[in-house]
Structure 1
Amino acid sequence: MNMLSKNHQKSMSKQVAIILLNWNTPTHTANCIESIIKSCNSEDYDLIIADNGSTDDSLSILKSKFPQHIYIDNKANLGFAGGNNTALKFSIEHNYTFSLLLNNDTEVDEDFLTPLTAHLNANANAVAVQPAIYYLNDKDQLWNGGSFFNPYLGFTYSKNSKSRQALKTPEKVDWLTGCCFLIRNSALKEIGLLNEKFFLYYEDVELSFRLREQCGELHYLPTTKVYHEAGVSGKQRSKNTEGTLSPIIHYYVNRNKIWFLRKYANPFFFVLMFINNSIYY
């Protein structure tokens, strides 16, 4: 890992490290950075861009356009977990209070960061918080309005109905999407970082469950918004289709879901699976 920052020293007054992971998508990352700069009126954050071994000169492109930010060159594709972990380690080692994971295929709403930090500062029982996440190409459609888990059926799911959009009060959730959440670095010091075994997908779910077991509550804050293009780096894109999954993504989703369910599903789920397979075969 190489540090490629113009200014390595963090001002001790800054609370938040905003972390973006780039892999061969400098245009999306640049759009996200510009969105953050427009949104965050305060200077109470540093922006850390971790590059996952891009082969398209991403680092040079981004550094020339945004030389004031902190860059980490991972030299190889470490996956979502490993790539973000290098930046999380930097955040912890440089004594930021919070880290914000943010997908680079997002744009943020006006002053989105302040309500998130204010929520954690006001709620000692919460260790991490997620905003409402809408589709970037259809900003009236909710993509993730809080995520939950049914241990009996083995379902991880997110709420995104129209009625969900009317929610105005924070609530507890089972897990947070890695698309965007703010977390206390003190919690990461206690339980560790993203599980790099997962590489891609379900690492956010697994981290969420460790946080709930050992640290405290996870909250959803519906009044703060982020807009997501859904899977730019990992998908084989159709021209007008958002969030299309490639075969390799299907592999990681299903493999990692099995790993997760082995640890967190209710035993009743495995009984149902056995009965279902017995009937089928």
Structure 2
Amino acid sequence: MTHGVSIVIVTFNAREDALACLASVHAHPPARPWEAIVVDNRSGDGTADALAARWPDLPLRRLPENVGFAAANNIGIRATTQPYVLLLNSDTLVGAGQVEGLCAALDGEPAAAAAGPCLVDGTGQQELSYGPMISPLNEARQKVRGRLLSAGPTAVRARIAADMQRRQFVDWVSGACLLVRREAAEAVGLLDERYFMYCEDVDFCAALRAAGHRILYAPEVVVTHLRGRSRASAPAATTRRYRDSQLAFYRKHHPRWAWLLRWYLAARDVTGRRG
């Protein structure tokens, strides 16, 4: 049985990226029934108008305020109908066969509720688009792994890159390009809207795993992720939102550590350190 796919794209002040993303989807649609919807978080750069002018028949939700990434995705999910839902960042580009390939990967893994591809930047450099459940130790390990991948010894970089080419079940895949079975998503209540942006994908995958599903990383599918274009318009606000989501995640999943994280983040703010 072929499952159709609904593609949900959330936009915020990323007009050119959103235009390029939608153009790539229309140029390389999946070989199955599909639909796309854009949910605009009240962009101030004319994103919604530009999309409407380019694709007059494109379903487009213009929100009266910026409700955040998780809530906007939920609006898009509820407004669509296909059995599969692809959450796709506006700063991504899909090539020929990539959406179909990700759908086929999920078709072939009945135990999996969600799947994510290998993400690469504009130069083709792989990014860590999957990982272990967030915890103090795992966050540190993931940061070290990311640094080694970009600037570590050649042998270490090769070993990490080789692991990133292995299809595997993981704790989470990036929300920049995340395919999920609608039935499973609805059963866990969709994305948790306490996360304005960041951590919502890890939390969502945790909810799916808690419901007995698996999360698939499918590196044979490669999607370009240009990263952070809309964040660049308001870096201070973006940092604050990230910290808020990080704290919300720890309060929900690791309450014993939340107080220490709150103290640590406050200390960084006092000393002017970031990152």
Q: With structure 1 as the length reference, what TM-score do the two structures score? A: 0.79
1:128 aligns with 2:117: no
Partners of 1:35 and 1:108 within 8 A in 2: yes
Out of 153, 174, 178, the position equivalent to 2:175 is 178
Q: Deviations over 1:85-123 (max 9, x none)?
A: 1101112xx3x1111011101111321011211121111
CA root-mean-square deviation = 2.6
Structure 2 distance, partners of 1:109, 1:128, is: 20
- Aligned residue in 2 for 1:25: 14
Matches within 5 A, 1:62-141: 62-91=51-80, 94=81, 96-136=82-122, 138-139=123-124, 141=125
Shift of 1:67: 2.2
Measured at CA, do residues 255 and 266 of structure 1 come closer, stay the same or move farther in structure 2, by a change above 3 Å? closer
Residue of structure 1 equivalent to 2:270: none
Amino acid aligned to 1:192: G
Aligned residues of 1:174 and 1:209 also touching (Cα < 8 A)? yes
Measured in 1, the distance between the counterparts of 2:87 and 2:114 equals: 11
- Pair 1:15-2:4 in alignment: yes
Give yes or no for contact 2:18–2:47 (8 Å, CA) kept in 1.
no
Gapped regions of structure 1 (runs ≥ 5): 1-12, 237-244, 277-281
1:137-216 map, 5 Å: 138-139=123-124, 141-149=125-133, 151=135, 153=137, 155=139, 157=142, 161=149, 162-163=157-158, 164-166=160-162, 167-216=164-213
Instruction: Give the number of the structure whose residues are more often strand, by fraction.
Output: 1
Is the aligned partner of 1:248 residue 2:245? no
In 2, distance between residues paired with 1:31 and 1:152? 37
Q: Is the 8 A contact 1:14 1:46 kept in 2?
A: no
Query: Post-superposition, which runs of at least 4 consecutive aligned residues in structure 1 deviate over 4 A?
Result: 269-273
What percentage of residue pairs aligned between the two structures are identical? 25
Give me the TM-score of the superposition, normalised by structure 2.
0.81
Q: Is the 8 A contact 2:8 2:73 kept in 1?
A: yes
Q: Verify: 1:49 aligned to 2:38, yes or no.
A: yes
Q: CA 1:72/1:224 → structure 2, altered by over 3 Å: closer, same or farther?
A: same
Aligned equivalents of 2:47, 2:228: Cα separation in 1 = 18
User: Which of 235, 250, 253 is the matching residue for 2:232?
Assistant: 235
AA matched with 2:61 = I
For residues 18 and 122 of structure 1, the distance between their equivalents in structure 2, rounded to whole angstroms, comes to: 20
User: Secondary structure of 2:203's partner?
Assistant: helix
Give, in angstroms, the shift of residue 150 of structure 1: 5.7
* 1:133/1:143 contact within 8 Å kept: yes
Identify the residue that residue 219 of structure 2 maps to in structure 1. 222
Task: Report if the CA contact (8 A) 1:109-1:224 is conserved.
Answer: no
Distance 1:253 1:123, change over 3 A: same
Distance 1:60 1:263, change over 3 A: closer
Letter of the 2:12 partner, please give it.
W
Deviation per CA, 1:224-247, whole angstroms, max 9, x where unpaired?
Answer: 1111111111224xxxxxxxx822
Q: Distance in 1 between matches of 2:255 and 2:166?
A: 30
Superposed displacement of residue 69, structure 1 = 2.2
Conserved 8 A contact 1:19-1:50: yes
Contact 1:129 / 1:218 at 8 angstroms: preserved in 2?
Answer: yes
Q: Which shows bigger deviation, 213-222 or 253-262?
A: 253-262
Which has the larger displacement, 250-259 or 146-155?
A: 146-155
Question: How far apart are the structure 1 equivalents of 2:6 and 2:196?
Answer: 22
